[in-house]
Structures are given as C-alpha cells and as structure tokens.
Structure 1
Amino acid sequence: MSRHAAPESEGTPRSRFAGAAVVVVNYGSADLLARNLTVLTRAAEGLTTVVVDNFTSALERENLRHLAADEGWRLVEPPINLGFGVGMNRGVDAARESGCDRFLLLNPDAVIEAEAAGTLLERVVAEPSALVAPRILRPDGSTWFAGSDLYLDDGRIRSRRRRLDSVAEDRIEPWLTGACLAVSAELWATTGGFSDDYFLYWEDVDLSHRVVASGGALVLLDDVTAEHAQGGTQAAGHSSAGQPKSATYYYYNIRNRMLYAALHLDDDDYRAWAKQSRAVAWEILLQGGRRQLVESPAPLRAAYRGLRDGARLARRVRRATR
C-alpha cells in the first residue's frame, strides 16, 4: 500500500464533481445521513448522490424518502436487507446508470468535506487502477484508520501503525477500510466490486486483495482526512477498545475470517488460520471488553455461531473452488 500527499486541486466545484457520485448504504441511519452526508452533498455542486436503503422498517424508509427528496438524492429501495457489499454494488450500478464514472463509497457514520472528497476522486481519475482512501479521524482528532494489515500466518488484523517488524513483508497484506473509498468505474469493472459472499465485514479486506491481485494499487492519502462520527457503525479491527459490540459484529467478523481464508489462501495458510480460529475469536470478543461477557450470553453465542458457520462455509467453498 502506498502513502502519498494529495495533489493540488484544480477546476471549479462543478467541473470537479461532474461525473462523480457518492454512494452510501443505509441501515436504520437516516438521522446520521441528515447530519453527516449533507456536509458533503450540499457543498459539492454537481455530485450525484445515491443512497441504498437496506430495509429496516416502514417508518425508516418513509423518513429517508423525505430526506432524499429534500436533498435531491437518488434512493434505491430493496425490499430486504442486502448487506453492505451487495447494497454498495447496487448503489454503484445506479450511479453508473446516471452516467457517473468514479465513485466515493461512504459509510453513514463518516463525515468528509467537499475539498477532501474532491481530492480523493481526482486521484482515481489520475490513477484509475488505484483504490484510494483518506486518513480517518475520531471526533477528538485521534486516528481511527490510517491503513490496516492482514497477517497471513494467522489471520489477525492490526493497524499499520502497529506493524510487527518481526514479520516478513510478503506475509502481510495491507487493506483499506470500506468506510471511505474512492474508486474508478474502470477498477470497479475489473474487480467486479464487492463480493456478494460476506454480507457484512471483511468485504473491504477481500476487495483490497482483489485490487492488488488485478494489478491495481492501494493508496492512502495521509493529508486528506475524513471523520468517523460517534454513535455510528462498527468496522473490523477499528472499533474503540473496550466498547461493547453487537452480536452481528462478532458473528460476521469471526465467520468471514474463514470465508476469506477459503477463497484466497493456499492449503498451508488455510490450515493455520483454522487452527487459530478459537484464539482469534476470543480476541475479537475481547474488543468489546470483559464486562459484556458477564452481563449477557449474546456475545458468546454469536462467537460460537460464527466459528461453527465459518468452518462449514469455508469447507464448502474450499471444495467448490478446488
């Protein structure tokens, strides 16, 4: 993964965003969109906005319809919850139908200014084979994301700032979080977008892998920032330590680790990840602190189901791809 300073911006706001779209997948977060997404869309003249509403309730959908109508956003309304990756794919499809050729993929809990968004989108025009991300900050100014590493020896994830010097570089795969990504239509077509298999979590790790495998590059622009708002969604490996997580977070992070292994690893690494599954699952649980494990059985149940279903799914995928 390369780290760069952003280029100087050029052009008027309209020329800068013409042909570009911001794509957001919503899941019960209309209030976040009203607070966060409007920071960008009201300032970025000419930017197309596509929101995919993964269904939660009739009231949420109606609220989002009113918001989208007021703001001039295009709303995609699947009748069910498609998950993050499939939802984002639907949103990019809609943006392409609107004539857009570059996309900013954004979480509802992410806030980015128009200047920063424009810089990310300009980078993918200059380098169409690059998947581009900003540095993401917490509201207090501390770093939430500045690149992540996947360790091939055991399937653990660490931030790039905590990279282990004892591990060879070819045993580490960098990846970029799906919380805020810029991508060209060319690279999207080359990779096929997000995999449909993950539903939630690890789809950005998978996409990063396929970008590099296709000859593309992962680019982190250190001097371009977005903000990860409090009270929003949770991302693999980047939630605040000790903050309780949802059962969904535990289940899919544990399950999808082995799905990724089945899809992308050789036999030796696949077996090594399988042997470490329980230990890694426990570490994922502890991201939410020990107190939650005393207060409710839900986290442990989610972890058990994630281990069970991940092993079953991995074996099935492994057989089908061999």
Structure 2
Amino acid sequence: MKPGAIVLLNFNGEKVLPDFLPSVLQGSSLPIYVIDNGSADGSLDYLQAYERKGSLSVLPLAGNFGFAEGYNRGLAQLKGRYRFFILLNTDVRVTPGWDQQLLAFLEQQGSAAFAVQPKILDAKRPEYFEYAGAAGGFLDQYGFPFCRGRILMDCEQDTGQYTDSLTVDWCSGACMAVAAEHFFSLGGFDADYFAHMEEIDLCWRARNLGLQLWCLPAVAVYHQGGATLAVAHPKKTFLNIRNSLLMLMDRSPLASRKRLWRARQLFDLLASGHFLFQGKWAHVQAVRAGRKAARELLKKRAEAPQHLRGPISQRQPVLRSVILARYLKGRRRYQAL
C-alpha cells in the first residue's frame, strides 16, 4: 500500500482552479486526484488537460453529490491503495513540502491518530487566519464551532501566537490529512449533510472512538473560502443550521439532547432576530427552514448508536458559549476565552 494521496473535490471550479491548482502541482510530491462533482462549466476540461500531461488523475462523478457524498464516492475508488488521504479544497494555495510534513506527523502519532490539519491562513489577507479552521477547531457546549485564531466571524492576525501542535475537536475540511483505514471504518462523511459541518461530525465520531485529531501549525496553507458557496448566501445559513442540529442530536449523550435542543432553539431565535435587524429576510427564512429540515431528517434517520456518542469537546475547560463570550464579554481572540 502506498503512503498517501492528495484528493481534491471540484464542482464548477473554473474560476479558482487556475489561481490555486498550480501551487498544488508544484509544491506537492504525492499523487494528486481530483474528484469532479458533475461540473457544468469548463473546469473538467481544464483538469483533463492536466491529466493528459500526467500531472493528476480525474475521478468524474455522474452528478453533484455535495462535499460529503462526493468525497465518499471518490475515495471509495481509491480504497486499499493508500494509507493516508489529504483532502484539499480547490481554492487552497499550499507551501513546498506541506504534504509530506502532514503525513510524517500522522505517522509519528501512531495508530490512534485519525486526522491532522495545518495552519490555515487567508489567501486574500495572508497575515490573517482564515475562517475555515484557522489554527485548530473546537466546539462549545452547545455545539457551536470556533477556532484558535477565529471567534465566530472575527479572524485574528497571525503574529506567531499559535505555534504549538495540539489535539483539537475537529480538523478543517479545507485541508485535512486522514488515516484511510479509520475514514472507511467510520463510514466516511454523513451523506445527509451534503455540505458544511460534515467534517466536524466525522471528527466527533472519531473522538468518540478514542481517535485523536491534531493541528500542526508548522505547516501553513492559504484558503480563499466561499469558492462553491459564498459566506453571505442564505443556503449556507440553511445548511449550517440544519447540519449543526443534526450533529448535536446524533453525537451528544442521549441524556442531554432535550436540553441542547431547547438551548439551540433560543440561539437560533436570536440569530433570526439579528438577520431581521439587518434586513436579511432570506436568512431569517433559512434559519426556520434549517430547523424544520433537521427535525424531519432526525425522524427519518435511525438513532445514532451509543458508541458514536460522547462529550461535545475534549477541550478543558469546555467553553460554555462562544456566542455569549463574543457578544456579551467582547472576546474576539481565542486567548481571551
């Protein structure tokens, strides 16, 4: 079995691929695969031109299956061939040797290591951390994600304040190396998520089985973000609300589910009020639709088994609420929590 492969997932990436793919081709030494999620623009032709040169391999899918199932189907074609996969967004610029450093770190951690992410900086503002992962992801007691270097929408400037490697609650789907054996034994990503927060759900399942997740800030990549779905798009709000509730109900201990659902109802009401104040009616509707969709999916899905449930966070102490810390106490930096 070969050591590892870099696997990107493309969907209509014609606008971002020319700016980011060359750095991956130049700065990497592992084989590169690109899963194409039924793109309808010119990006598949662009990728196939590189394939003819032998620079990468394209794994075309018959339609757009989203991030979760798109990766599941693409990685299934590579099962048994590689010990590790590095999952990489198409709008990420890498640095030389990044791939070998991530794999070497995972190997050093032994069989209990599931995933590692690098430090993720903003491709548009390279001196700042980027929203999707920053220097390692965590969850507060209500399941809201935050990062070293990013509190809600506030991204810190990288001044060297987070240089130590540490275990985290979740690794970013923008760039994460995973142990293939564990990925497949966990069943991969949950296809019901389609996109957004599926990596956090996967990482929570891994933690509940005693596996470790890491951030390695010695390796840096640069992520643009919003290449497939803009941050301000109501669909993103819908997916984040729905998927966050799915994850919370499926992964948290059974005894705390009702309490967490009621608490999240209050937070979602506050979010709706915030959007209404801003005149963003489409986002108000997205919050409502997200909660409704979560309830409907939870009714249809089989109840998650007990062994895949466990503590929301391995961080000690567990943060009570990142929203209250930010808006009531004015804490915009991870070190102030």
Do the two structures share a fold, i.e. TM-score over 0.5? yes
Residue 61, structure 1, aligned to residue 44, structure 2: yes
Question: Residues of 2 paired with 1:23 and 1:289: CA distance?
Answer: 40
Q: Residue 121 of structure 2: which of 126, 134, 137 is its match? A: 137
Tell me, yes or no, if the aligned pair for 2:102 and 2:116 is still in contact at 8 Å: yes
Q: Name the Cα RMSD after superposition.
A: 2.9
Please name the residue that 2:106 is paired with.
124
User: Of 167, 176, 180, which aligns to 1:181?
Assistant: 176
1:147 matches 2:136: yes
- Counterpart CA distance in 2 for 1:68 and 1:32 is 18
What do residues 297-319 of structure 1 show as CA deviations (whole Å, max 9, x unaligned)?
43222222111111222233365
The aligned residue for residue 34 of structure 1 is 18
Partner of 1:207: 202
Q: Is the 8 A contact 2:129 2:150 kept in 1?
A: no
Give yes or no for the alignment of 1:106 onto 2:88. Answer: yes
After TM superposition, give the deviation of residue 178 of structure 1 in Å.
1.1
Aligned residues between the structures = 282
Q: SS at the partner of 1:23?
A: strand
Question: What CA deviation, in whole Å up to 9, does each residue of 1:117-164 have, x standing for no partner?
Answer: 210011222234321111111132111211222123x2322224579x
- Structure 1 vs Structure 2: percent identity of aligned residues? 25
Q: Hey, what does 1:249 align to over in structure 2?
A: 236
Kindly tell me: are residues 83 and 125 of structure 1, through their superposed partners in 2, closer, same or farther at Cα, counting changes over 3 Å? Answer: same
Pairing of 1:1-322 with structure 2 (within 5 A): 19-45=3-29, 47-57=30-40, 59-70=42-53, 72-96=55-79, 99-127=81-109, 128-130=111-113, 131-139=115-123, 140=125, 141-144=127-130, 145-152=134-141, 154-160=142-148, 174-229=169-224, 232-233=227-228, 245-281=232-268, 291=278, 293=280, 297-317=281-301
Residue range with higher mean Cα deviation, 58-67 or 111-120:
58-67
Uncovered stretches (5+) of structure 1, i.e. residues with no partner: 1-17, 164-172, 235-242
SS at match of 1:101: strand
Deviates more, 1:180-189 or 1:303-312: 180-189
Q: CA deviation at 1:233?
A: 4.8
Distance of 1:117 and 1:28 partners within structure 2: 25
Q: CA contact under 8 A between 2:36 and 2:58: conserved in structure 1? A: yes
Secondary structure, in 3 states, of the residue corresponding to 1:181?
A: strand
Q: TM-score, normalised by structure 1?
A: 0.76
TM-score (norm 2): 0.73
Please give the secondary structure, in 1, of the residue aligned with 2:195.
coil
